[in-house]
Structure 1
Amino acid sequence: MFVRYEICPAMTSDLSALEGAPPEEILAEAARRWPRLAFATGFGPEGCVLVDVIARHRLPIDIFTLDTGVLFPETYELWRALERRYGLGIRAVRPAFSLEEARTVYAQLWEREPDRCCQARKVLPLRGALAGLDAWVTAIRRDQTPERASAAVAEPDPKFGLVKVNPLVRWTSADVWAHVARHGVPVNPLHAQGYPSIGCAPCTTPVAPDEDPRAGRWRGREKTECGLHGRFTGGRPAGPNA
């Protein structure tokens, strides 16, 4: 069973001094302070940048991804390309039930109740993956959504009972793509085909040039986040999440 604990603000406040530091410095200090540290990547351009930073600076940070079983083929190929490029392994964290069960027993849950689908295929597997860790790294940026605008370099994460480290929190999209170009970081080819934000294949569509970058996620619904960075009440989303 996952046990939550209270996190003293002092555990994270010292990293506020690194607000303007490059991500490698933030990650190095986080790894020193919290040895049981892991990075959960969704293979967005920000996540690929952090894989590049971790690998180039040889930081002792475990890397994993939530493999829902319904990622785009291009995402699976990017996963393999990153492993080949950097000579590292990116662990797969999968839900308790199989894709076949999702299609039969759960009757395409992503079509009927996408919030429950995200909870079962992302949030609960992540909870298990984070159990026993001191802190986890994310690739969120403040300018991505209103809910992320107040994110700190390091902050308590009461949902999972540990510290959340956000080394790219101050970066803009332009900063991310400049790093990608400068270091030749592999990214998903779907970004060039109108997919600025990429999740599971059944729930992601291209966006028009004048649309919000996340408009293609769960199109036609009010849902714009999957639940990894927000609060839940009784197993259901209490508001926009990630």
Structure 2
Amino acid sequence: MANPLRKLDLIDIAPKFTPVSAAEINARFDGVETTEMLRRLFDEPPYDDLALVSSFGAESAVLLHMVSQIDKSVPLIFINTQKIFGETLAYRDELAERLGFTDMRVYRPDPYLLAQKDATSLRWSYDPDGCCDLRKVEPLRRALAPFDAWISGRKGFQGKTRNALPRFEEDEGRLKINPLADWDKARLNAYFEEHKLPRHPLEAQGYPSIGCAPCTSQVQAGEDPRAGRWRGWDKTECGIHDPVF
């Protein structure tokens, strides 16, 4: 007798979102102010399940504050690569508590994979792409498994690889939402001031873009804001985000 469950192996489940559907959503919200766009997304969502992903980096407080004013119960995902600055972890706890998020979800690298692929904990020094895949990409993929859409804090001004960043894009069949895609540094600073938001403690020390401690260095005046990320390597993104030129 044939196994009726065998049919499931033959079902090709199409992704919920495609580049075309993401472009359609972009057009729908063209010209809509950022906070209004977010409210409409929460009130009449084009997705089933949504997560907010944050690195709690230098400018993360702006988006976190915006979302907290709409829904404090949205799942808030943080990837602890176990190479994070201590200042970032402290800032995460302070900010999440201050803004009142009720569903913080922290994901870490798989210890079995770490033992296999980074037993010395030094992979960042000779294979940063592999390290990011192990410590960021894989944990985020696990974290996002229940969701068909997620909010990212990327901004177009942050580097030449993000110049053409759209508000909505398709990512592995999910809808990735970039509410601050068209915000510049001056607008972010004004929002910080207006809402009296705390700054990341490393920003004042010359870290405008903050990732893992071994692969983040201070940025000098006139440099690209992300020049301190993977300095000396031909690498601009961790793998979570594709470059958008």
TM-score (norm 2): 0.83
Partner residue, 1:79: 92
1:123 deviation in Å?
0.7
Aligned residues between the structures? 228
Partner residue, 2:106: 92
> 1:202 corresponds to which letter in structure 2?
P
Partner residue, 1:5: 15
Bigger shift: 116-125 or 98-107? Answer: 98-107
The question of whether the paired residues in 2 share the 8 Å contact of 1:16 and 1:153 is answered with no
Q: Which residue, out of 19, 32, 38, partners 2:30? A: 19
Find the residue that maps to 2:136 and give its secondary structure: helix
Gaps of 5+ in 1: 231-239
In 2, Cα distance between equivalents of 1:68 and 1:77: 15
Partner residue, 2:9: none
Q: Which residue, out of 153, 156, 165, partners 1:151? A: 165
Find the residue that maps to 1:91 and give its secondary structure: strand
Q: How is 1:1-242 mapped onto 2 (pairs within 5 angstroms)?
A: 5=15, 7-8=17-18, 9-10=20-21, 12-31=23-42, 32-33=44-45, 34-58=47-71, 61-89=74-102, 90-97=104-111, 101=115, 105-157=119-171, 160-230=172-242
Find the residue that maps to 2:235 and give its secondary structure: coil
1:59 deviation in Å?
5.8
Percent identity reads 37
After superposition, the C-alpha distances for 1:190-219 in whole angstroms (9 at most, x for unaligned) are 101100110001111111112221111111
- Report the RMSD for the aligned CA atoms in angstroms: 2.5
1:112 deviation in Å?
1.5
The question of whether the paired residues in 2 share the 8 Å contact of 1:45 and 1:177 is answered with no
1:99 deviation in Å?
11
1:175 deviation in Å?
0.9
- Residues 172, 102 of structure 1: alpha-carbon distance in 2 compared, 3 angstrom cutoff: farther
Partner residue, 2:7: none
Bigger shift: 95-104 or 81-90? Answer: 95-104
1:63 deviation in Å?
1.1
The structure that has the greater radius of gyration is 2
The question of whether the paired residues in 1 share the 8 Å contact of 2:80 and 2:106 is answered with yes
> 1:120 corresponds to which letter in structure 2?
L
TM-score (norm 1): 0.84
